[in-house]
A and B are shown apart, each in its own frame.
Chain A
Amino acid sequence: MELPEKLCRITGIGQSEVGRPSPKNALELTIDACTEAIADAGLRPEDIDGVANYPMKSLEGGGISPVSVGEAQFALGIDATWVGSGTHEGPGHMAAIFAAVMAVATGLCRHVLVFRSVAQAQARLASRESTLLTGRRERVDGNNAFTVPYHAYSPANLWAMYAQAYFDKYGATEAQLGWIAVNGRRNAMKNPNAIYRTPLTIEDYLAARMISTPLRLFDCDSHIDGSTALVISHRDLARDMPNPPIHIEAMGMALSGLSQGVFDGDFTAIRATRAGEMLWNRTDLTPKDLSCAQIYDGFSIHTVLWAEAMRLVKPGEWLSFVDGGHRIALDGELPINTGGGQLSAGRFHGYGHTHEACVQLWGRGGERQVRGARSSLVCNGGYGYGALLLRTD
């Protein structure tokens, strides 16, 4: 039996303007991104028969998922036969894409519209405090009960401990880690839709204020308002559509215990290693075949842990690889986060990475185009892990 992802192609992409905050509300941003993606695929809303987003609309404050599938579907005039939301308990942000792949591969849908919208900058206008503290309840429960009572309100505190453990084990340094942020900014300066486009040097990085040792300001991504969309179509239909179809060559996923507060290992690796095993077992390609990689950077340390989980280097070697910023530059051995990543382009929450991979594979990168890009890895998530290997014909 053919693997489900081999039956699917990405046929269109769209992204709204980024805002911090945006003058548009979240539904308007979503309509902008979706309309662009549908048109890019050469389709009309009437042609779309499936819609998926990530995650399900959240009624909590914070703007993490302000638009439901239903709201988008009816606003766009789509008459879908299948809709779905990817949950946190799956391949992380990639859950909606995986769901769309399964809907297309099983014959349920011909063209699935996938979107991800965030309105986290608008939410911060209402409250600048940690979203964990703005809840109405007096006490915390679940996995938050093991961090919040210790004043560890932010995921920055948790991921900082991974960075410290990694530094201690491998002798890596803060200046090496800084190249992930500096590289992102360098690329964001060539991305008209990136939120931060002023130059950033390694000296600027090191001089910035500490958030939670050893993570500094520029190791942390920034909340934004914005939406990203893509269309996933059956390969038989994709042949006759305007864009050269992008193959989903392989996918991989894993779920960590972090949302349950369950930790294993020595804090220098994440269970995304299983996503890496799964992905590379589903293709004849190898890391050496990559033209570029879009690697999750909610915090810079995610990029380190993901790169090693995906076997791009051996454990403990990624920060030597990025040191100096040459190998990961647009003209380097393996360009990464070519649109600026979340650190500089803004927290499109995983979907910016998939969008950027398609930009590169369709040669639309302009000043930031990687010459001859034919394949890109995409890795998303800090708690649940999803990865795609995308390629052109």
Chain B
Amino acid sequence: MNLQVEPNPAAPRKLPELEPLTAAFWTGGEHGKLRIQHCGDCGHWQHPPLARCPKCHGANLSADAVSGRGRVQTFTINHQAWIKGVDPRFVFAVIALDEQPELYVFSNVLADPERMRSGMQVEVCFERNDDVWIPLFRPVGES
């Protein structure tokens, strides 16, 4: 299964800083893994990563691979051109990852906007831009 997708030259992305807590999320795609902060003491998954576990307050935190599967919690199809020269039509969505209730990741879904539905099953793929592997999602079975 090919997890890598090519950047769209018509829609260049402004990239995230690789910060100490977030770098794993943005670079896990190099090895085909979506990595999410995980508490080694109580098992809670947390995104975005925090300095301590919000459930048990522990500091035994690591960025561990998840399945990369989830479903669309909610979404929007953008129409407004916010910047010149960038294709304004994209799907922005909240993905509820399978690992835990309310474990949410914001992303783009690579799907025909007409077919977008809340509840749609999706899986992760990655778009490399420089030293960042942006986690994106597409409908299950379309890789």
A interface residue numbers (CB < 8 A to B) = 129-130, 133, 138-141, 143, 145-154, 156-157, 160-162, 164-165, 168, 209-215, 260-267
Interface size on B, residues (CB 8 A): 34
CB within 8 A of A267: which of B13, B15, B84, B94? B94
Q: Are B48 and A262 closer than 8 Å at their CB atoms? A: yes
Assuming the contacts A149-B16, A156-B80, asked whether A165 and B106 have C-beta atoms less than 8 A apart, the reply is no
Q: Supply 29 A–B pairs (Cβ within 8 Å), ascending by A.
A: A139-B17, A141-B16, A141-B17, A146-B106, A147-B92, A149-B15, A150-B106, A150-B107, A150-B108, A151-B11, A151-B90, A153-B82, A154-B80, A161-B74, A161-B75, A161-B92, A161-B93, A168-B74, A209-B79, A210-B79, A211-B79, A212-B92, A213-B76, A213-B78, A213-B79, A214-B76, A215-B76, A263-B104, A265-B102
Residues of B112-137 at the interface with A, using a CB-CB cut-off of 8 Å, are 118, 132, 134
A321 to B30 Cα, complex, angstroms: 51
Candidates B14, B77, B86; contact of A140 at CB < 8 Å:
B14
Tell me which of A143, A151, A161 has the highest count of chain B C-beta atoms within 10 A of its own C-beta. A151
Contact partners of A214 in chain B: CB under 8 A: 76
Decide: A164 and B75 in contact? CB cutoff 8 A. Answer: yes
Residue B79 contacts which of A129, A147, A212 (CB distance < 8 angstroms)?
A212
Q: Lowest 8 CB-CB distances: which A-B pairs, in order?
A: A145-B16, A165-B74, A160-B76, A141-B17, A153-B82, A210-B79, A213-B77, A261-B48
CA distance A260 to B48 in the complex (A): 8
> What residues on A are CB-neighbors of B80 within 8 Å?
154, 156, 210-212
Residues in A neighbouring B84, C-beta threshold 8 A: 129
Q: Which of A141, A157, A261 contacts B92 (CB 8 A)?
A: A157
CB neighbours of A212 from chain B (8 A): 76-80, 92
The reply to whether A149 and B93 contact each other, CB–CB distance below 8 Å, is no
- B83 lies within 8 A of chain A by Cβ: yes
Q: Mark B35-63, 1 if CB is under 8 A from A, else 0.
A: 00000000000001010000000000000
**Chain A residue at smallest Cβ distance from B19:** A141
Q: How far is the CA of A141 from the CA of B108 in the complex (A)?
A: 18
Number of A-B contacts (CB under 8 A): 116
Q: Nearest chain B CB to A322's CB is how many angstroms away? A: 21
Give chain B nearest CB distance to A328 CB in angstroms: 25
Cα of A143 to Cα of B108 in the assembled complex, Å: 16
Say whether B4 faces chain A, with CB atoms less than 8 Å apart.
Answer: no
Considering the chains assembled together, what is the distance between the CA atoms of A130 and B92 in angstroms?
17
- Whether A157 contacts B76 by the Cβ 8 Å rule is yes
**How far in angstroms is the closest Cβ of chain A from B27?**
13
B residues whose Cβ falls under 8 Å from a Cβ of A: 11, 13-17, 19, 22, 48, 50, 73-80, 82-84, 86, 90, 92-94, 102, 104, 106-108, 118, 132, 134
20 additional contacts (CB under 8 A) given A146-B48, A151-B82, A260-B48? A130-B82, A140-B15, A149-B132, A150-B90, A150-B106, A151-B11, A151-B78, A152-B92, A152-B106, A156-B80, A161-B76, A161-B94, A162-B74, A168-B74, A210-B80, A213-B78, A214-B76, A262-B48, A262-B50, A267-B73
State the CA gap A333–B60 with chains docked (Å): 54
* Cβ distance B121 to chain A, nearest Cβ, rounded Å: 16
Are A263 and B94 neighbours in the complex by a CB distance under 8 Å? yes
> B62: shortest Cβ distance to chain A, in Å?
19
User: For the complex, what is the distance from the CA of A53 to the CA of B104, rounded to whole Å?
Assistant: 35
A130 vs B19: C-alpha distance in the bound complex, in angstroms? Answer: 23
Task: Give chain B residues whose Cβ lies under 8 Å from the Cβ of A264.
Answer: 102
Nearest-CB residue, chain B, relative to A266 = B73
Closest A residue to B80 by beta carbon equals: A211
| Residues A157 and B83 in contact in the complex (CB < 8 Å), given A145-B17, A147-B106 | no
Q: Which residues of chain A are within 8 angstroms of B107 by Cβ–Cβ distance?
A: 150
Nearest-CB residue, chain B, relative to A264: B102
Taking the closest CB of chain A, its distance from the CB of B126, in whole angstroms, is 12
Bound-state Cα–Cα, A156 to B50, Å: 26
Please give me the residue from chain B that is nearest to A210 by CB atom: B79
How far apart are A14's CB and chain B's nearest CB, in angstroms?
34
B12 to chain A, nearest CB (A): 10
Give the distance to chain B from A226, nearest Cβ to Cβ, in Å: 24
Q: Which residue of chain B has its CB nearest to the CB of A152?
A: B92
Chain B residues near A267: list those with CB within 8 A: 73-74, 94
The answer on a CB contact under 8 Å between B14 and A143 is: no
Q: Which residues of B contact A139 (CB under 8 A)?
A: 14-17
Q: Are B83 and A130 in contact (CB under 8 A)?
A: yes
| CB-nearest residue of chain B to A216 | B79
| Contact pick for B82, options A154, A210, A263, CB 8 Å | A154
